[in-house]
Structure 1
Amino acid sequence: MKTFSLALCALVLTFSSCSNNDDAEMDTTLSEAEIPVEIKTYVDTHFAPNSINRAIRETENNEVSYDVFLNENIILEFNGDLEITAIDDDSQLPNSVIPNSILEYVAQNYASNFITDWELENNHQQVELNNGTELEFTLNGEFIRIDND
Structure 2
Amino acid sequence: MKKILLSGFIALSLLFTTTSCDSDDDDRETVITATDLPQTASTFITTYFPNATYQVIKKQDKPDADGSIYDVYLTNDFEIDFDANGNWIDIDGNHQAIPVELIPEKISIYITTNYPNQFVTSIDNEKTFIEVELSNNLELVFDLQGNFIRIDK
TM-score (norm 2): 0.77
| 1:35 CA drift (Å) | 2.4
| 1:47 CA drift (Å) | 1.2
Counterparts of 2:117 and 2:34, CA distance in 1: 39
- The equivalent of 1:25 in structure 2 is 27
Paired amino acid for 2:85: D
Question: What pairs up with 1:28-39 in 2 under 5 angstroms?
Answer: 28-39=30-41
Counterparts of 2:30 and 2:138, CA distance in 1: 34
Is the 2:69–2:83 contact (alpha carbons within 8 Å) kept by the matching residues of 1? yes
Mark the runs of 5 or more structure 1 residues left unpaired by the alignment: 1-13
- Does structure 1 residue 68 correspond to structure 2 residue 72? yes
Question: What pairs up with 1:61-140 in 2 under 5 angstroms?
Answer: 65-89=69-93, 90-140=95-145
Is the 1:24–1:61 contact (alpha carbons within 8 Å) kept by the matching residues of 2? no
Is the 1:57–1:64 contact (alpha carbons within 8 Å) kept by the matching residues of 2? no
Structure 1 runs (4+) greater than 2 angstroms displaced: 60-64
Counterparts of 1:143 and 1:66, CA distance in 2: 28
| 1:64 CA drift (Å) | 6.5
Paired amino acid for 1:40: S
Aligned residues: 130
Equivalent of residue 146 in structure 1, options 137, 147, 151: 151
Counterparts of 1:87 and 1:59, CA distance in 2: 21
Is the 2:31–2:56 contact (alpha carbons within 8 Å) kept by the matching residues of 1? yes
Q: CA distance change for structure 1 residues 30 and 61 in 2, over 3 Å: closer, same or farther? A: closer
| 1:60 CA drift (Å) | 2.8
What secondary structure sits across from 2:91 in the alignment?
strand
What secondary structure sits across from 2:26 in the alignment?
coil
Counterparts of 2:146 and 2:113, CA distance in 1: 14
Counterparts of 1:64 and 1:109, CA distance in 2: 30
TM-score (norm 1): 0.79
Paired amino acid for 2:71: D
Q: CA distance change for structure 1 residues 61 and 85 in 2, over 3 Å: closer, same or farther? A: closer
What secondary structure sits across from 1:60 in the alignment?
coil
Higher strand share: 1
Counterparts of 1:123 and 1:29, CA distance in 2: 29
Mark the runs of 5 or more structure 2 residues left unpaired by the alignment: 1-15
